[in-house]
Amino acid sequence: MDNDAGWRIDYQLATAALGARAVKAEAGRAHSYAERWSDHAAVVVDYDVHLVA
């Protein structure tokens, strides 16, 4: 039965300055119990940053 019990949402840590630049965040989730490969839900965060080479 797929009741989302026991899910573990992973974390993403950032400094206050980087956190202020976050523009989108979501926790990944398989469409069905059969498609799960882990009981962790990966957290993906998009930041508005420009790297200098």
Instruction: Tell me the pTM.
Output: 0.64
Strands (E), the chain: 8-9, 22-27, 40-41, 43-47
pLDDT bracket for residue 53 (50, 70, 90): confident
Establish if 3 belongs to a structural domain.
no
Q: With respect to residue 25, please indicate whether it lies within any of the assigned structural domains.
A: yes
| Higher per-residue confidence, 30 vs 22 | 22
Q: How many domains does the chain contain in total?
A: 1
- For residue 2, is it within any domain? no
Domain with 13 in it: 8-47
**What letter represents residue 4's amino acid?**
D
52 is a domain residue:
no
pLDDT-derived band at 21 (thresholds 50, 70, 90) equals very high
Q: How confident is the model at residue 11 (pLDDT cuts 50, 70, 90)?
A: confident
List phi, psi (to 5°) of 42. Answer: -65, 140
Phi and psi, residue 9, nearest 5°? -90, 125
The answer, yes or no, to whether residue 18 has pLDDT greater than 60, is yes
- pLDDT at residue 23, as a whole number: 97
* Domain assignment of residue 28, yes or no: yes
